[in-house]
Structure 1
Amino acid sequence: MGRLLALSLLGIALALLGERFLALRNRLKASREVESVDLPNCHLIKGIEAGAEDIDILPNGLAFFSVGLKCPSLHSFAPDKPGGILMMDLNEENPRALELRISRGFNLALFNPHGISTFIDSDDTVYLFVVNHPEFKNTVEIFKFEEEENSLLHLKTIKHELLPSVNDIIAVGPEHFYATNDHYFSDPFLKYLETYLNLHWTNVVYYSPNEVKVVAEGFDSANGINISPDKKYIYVADILAHEIHVLEKQPNMNLTQLKVLKLDTLVDNLSIDPSSGDILVGCHPNGQKLFVYDPKNPPSSEVLRIQNILSEKPTVTTVYANNGSVLQGSSVASVYDKKLLIGTLYHRALYCEL
């Protein structure tokens, strides 16, 4: 009798595990393939060989690239090389990506940059916020951009218990930001278990020197974050739920859910087209290829444009798509003056003239 009961319980456990596995494959879009959508005037950016996970462009056309991200679950083409911040002037006829010098005292050897965001203060000071994972821990670094020297002056390192697994960030003041946690836990095994069990425990945190608090929660895996041009709404990408959440910003900096846009792809970082207010999304059509790297069957790339997201029926169009033959694992797309930049988690970056 005892053996029959044990076998019955084992069968139930295996069935539940099988259901979870199938559910995870569905969340990863493991069977999806993408048809190419090409752009005519594109070339790979020299000097970016191991990922440009996030890109942010200033109103004057200076673009910042977060390069060289390394994560325990991701492939890397340069596992022993620290990350960095590159800059490209999109006003130049043939712009080049140049690495910015970082001030002494900052540990460059452990620099592992992830999401980035810029903030321009009332005195025109430019601050660059960088999610950093030194030794796979979680910090937010604040730099002052010194344009004449092409350098970054490190001002502050932020650590907090409410920032256990930071992915992306949107700056709303010189020391103020919203950040996404893509996991509830910081321990690698618990992160995997959390994802496998689909716990929906990830969140958005507001940070200021005077207050740190969770302002939105219940996401499968909160990822990219950005703010509307009128500063009224925060957009959050839930990568494994294939959703973009529109959240209304309250006077106390809390966020209230307004709507959710469902998509058929894994949505990563979000950028805003300054000329139209459209949202550009770097996407992963097939997440399994992204996490289980096979050079013979590499991860594909996809860029979506979302128009009128506040309307009842937003318009979603595919700007670019590639099966991995040119660009693998697109994570971000940013536009400036008919120029499009597409970055990736661990591969190359693309410059296109629209």
Structure 2
Amino acid sequence: EPACLTEERSYFCIPPVRFHGEKESIFHIVTCPLLRNAVSNLFQGRSFQYRGVSVAFAEKKRRKAGLSKFNDGLLSHRNWRKVTLAFRELTQNHLPNCQLIKGLEYGSEDVTILENGLALVSTGLKFPGLPSNPDIPGNIQLIDLRVGVNPVVLPIKGSFDTASFNPHGISVFTDEKDGSRYLFVVNHPHGGSQIEIFRFDEDEYTLLHIRTVKHELLQSVNDIVAVGVDSFYATNDYYFTNHILRTLEPLMSLTWCNVVYYSPNEVRSVSEGYPSANGINISPDKRYLYVSDILRHRIGVLEIQKDHSLTHIKDVEVGSIPDNIEVDPETGDLWIGCHPNGLKFVLCNPNDPPGSEVIRIQNIHSEKPVVTVVYEDDGSVLVGSSAASPYKGKLLIGTVYHKALCCDLQ
């Protein structure tokens, strides 16, 4: 909640915070007094009416200089609509024989399918401002696509707090030495951000908790791709951890989000300059990473160096807001669950729900990658798609907080 708000002039006073590595400062948000209520709703995540609003940040002791500096980077109402693709309306472009999957009622935010047809799904994500089931903790579910689409919850063994489990992005690593599978899960217990590493037993259908990874550079992890039994790359979708400041990040056009490399011996930022970094995955030959640059509507292609640093190769525009990325192990094609209208997704209006969109990128490393819309729905069937993964003529589509869908590929 804002600490203070005056009737004459709308000042939202934010407690001291560490601002991009500088000394702690107090920042003020100055808004048009006529739109005080609208901005108040914005802070509560209930409205995004920015027309005519002037928002600026400044250090308390150097207000004028700060206002000038930050005002240059603020998004206008028109630009905000372009960033969120608020103008987009979808036509129905469905696949044949689609069926909603019973048992996945409260989200299937990330989906990954093993080469043997076992699909792992993270479900039950609780995120501020989005619908969720507050009475049931999140879990990991398994679907054996070889025999049907009947999800089962994977029991978790070991010392692990299942009551606060709030899973987000997931990734599987297979140890070539003995074939062991390790499931890496982004977890947000009590609003925090950490990585859980489990060993997946394919015979018993269980998860054994191995360890929890926390680090100051992993402050707001969205997705993860495992590259070893205890190493991974992860994306941060926000720079700040304060909810109010998070709301303002996109409005200020900040590009402080990044990709972090983690191993027991080294943790560092390896790719920076993102307004928000979301989905991440790796090429079949393990040479490239793909990152969803969601507010720029594109997929970044980065080459992995021997020292684990990343070199930016190029970007591929997708015309939608890309979320999680799955990579076909045989063709190298990228399958992306997308949000066609970001404003609708944020507002979560049940009378005008956000739609779903699945995009496929073929030949991404060529001079002319082929970007194809495979599935579109206006929200009447599937709300807020976030992941899409193919397997033997089937396509499994997950959502942030809604249901999951399985369709035949044409």
* TM-based fold match above 0.5: yes
Q: Which amino acid aligns with 1:120?
A: T
Question: 388, 391, 401: which is aligned to 1:333?
Answer: 388
**Alpha-carbon distance, 1:28 to partner:** 0.8
Question: 159, 164, 184: which is aligned to 1:110?
Answer: 164
**Alpha-carbon distance, 1:10 to partner:** 8.2
Aligned to 2:144: 89
Aligned to 2:398: 343
Q: Is the CA contact (8 Å cut-off) linking 1:233 and 1:247 kept in structure 2? A: yes
- Within 1, Cα distance between the matches of 2:152 and 2:368? 41
Aligned to 2:181: 126
1:83-113 CA distance string (max 9 Å, x none): 0000011111x23111000114211110000
Question: 91, 104, 111: which is aligned to 1:48?
Answer: 104
Of 99-108 and 318-327, the range deviating more from structure 2: 99-108
Aligned to 2:41: none
Aligned to 2:308: 253
Of 79-88 and 157-166, the range deviating more from structure 2: 79-88
Question: 83, 86, 101: which is aligned to 2:155?
Answer: 101
Q: Is the CA contact (8 Å cut-off) linking 2:356 and 2:384 kept in structure 1? A: yes
Q: Is the CA contact (8 Å cut-off) linking 1:50 and 1:347 kept in structure 2? A: yes
1:229-259 CA distance string (max 9 Å, x none): 1111100001111110000100001001000
Q: 1:319 to 1:156 in 2, by over 3 A?
A: same
- Within 2, Cα distance between the matches of 1:35 and 1:192? 30
Q: Which amino acid aligns with 2:157?
A: S
- Within 1, Cα distance between the matches of 2:216 and 2:171? 21
1:163-207 CA distance string (max 9 Å, x none): 000000000000010000001111111211222211011000000
- Count how many residue pairs are aligned between Structure 1 and Structure 2: 344
Question: 225, 230, 250: which is aligned to 1:175?
Answer: 230
Provide structure 1 residue ranges, at least 5 long, that are not aligned to the other structure.
Answer: 1-8
RMSD, aligned CA: 1.7
Percent identity, please: 54
Q: Is the CA contact (8 Å cut-off) linking 1:21 and 1:196 kept in structure 2? A: no
Question: 56, 78, 81: which is aligned to 1:22?
Answer: 78
- Within 2, Cα distance between the matches of 1:279 and 1:84? 26
Aligned to 1:3: none
Aligned to 2:248: 193
1:27-50 CA distance string (max 9 Å, x none): 111121111111111100110111
More RCO (CA 8 Å, sep 6+): 1
- Within 1, Cα distance between the matches of 2:76 and 2:180? 49
Secondary structure class of the residue paired with 1:63: strand
1:3-22 CA distance string (max 9 Å, x none): xxxxxx98898386985333
Q: 1:19 to 1:89 in 2, by over 3 A?
A: closer
Verify: 1:31 aligned to 2:87, yes or no: yes
Higher strand share: 1
Provide structure 2 residue ranges, at least 5 long, that are not aligned to the other structure.
Answer: 1-29, 33-51, 56-70
Matches within 5 A, 1:220-239: 220-239=275-294
**Alpha-carbon distance, 1:129 to partner:** 0.1
Secondary structure class of the residue paired with 1:184: coil
- Within 1, Cα distance between the matches of 2:129 and 2:186? 18
Q: 1:352 to 1:256 in 2, by over 3 A?
A: same
**Alpha-carbon distance, 1:329 to partner:** 0.3
Question: 195, 198, 203: which is aligned to 1:140?
Answer: 195
Secondary structure class of the residue paired with 1:52: coil
Return the index of the structure with the highest Cα Rg.
Answer: 2
Q: Which amino acid aligns with 2:285?
A: D
Secondary structure class of the residue paired with 1:149: coil
Q: Is the CA contact (8 Å cut-off) linking 2:74 and 2:252 kept in structure 1? A: no
Q: 1:19 to 1:145 in 2, by over 3 A?
A: closer
Q: Which amino acid aligns with 2:294?
A: I
- Within 2, Cα distance between the matches of 1:10 and 1:313? 45
Q: Is the CA contact (8 Å cut-off) linking 1:110 and 1:134 kept in structure 2? A: yes
Q: Is the CA contact (8 Å cut-off) linking 1:56 and 1:334 kept in structure 2? A: yes
Q: Is the CA contact (8 Å cut-off) linking 1:162 and 1:205 kept in structure 2? A: yes
Verify: 1:271 aligned to 2:326, yes or no: yes
Q: Which amino acid aligns with 1:345?
A: V
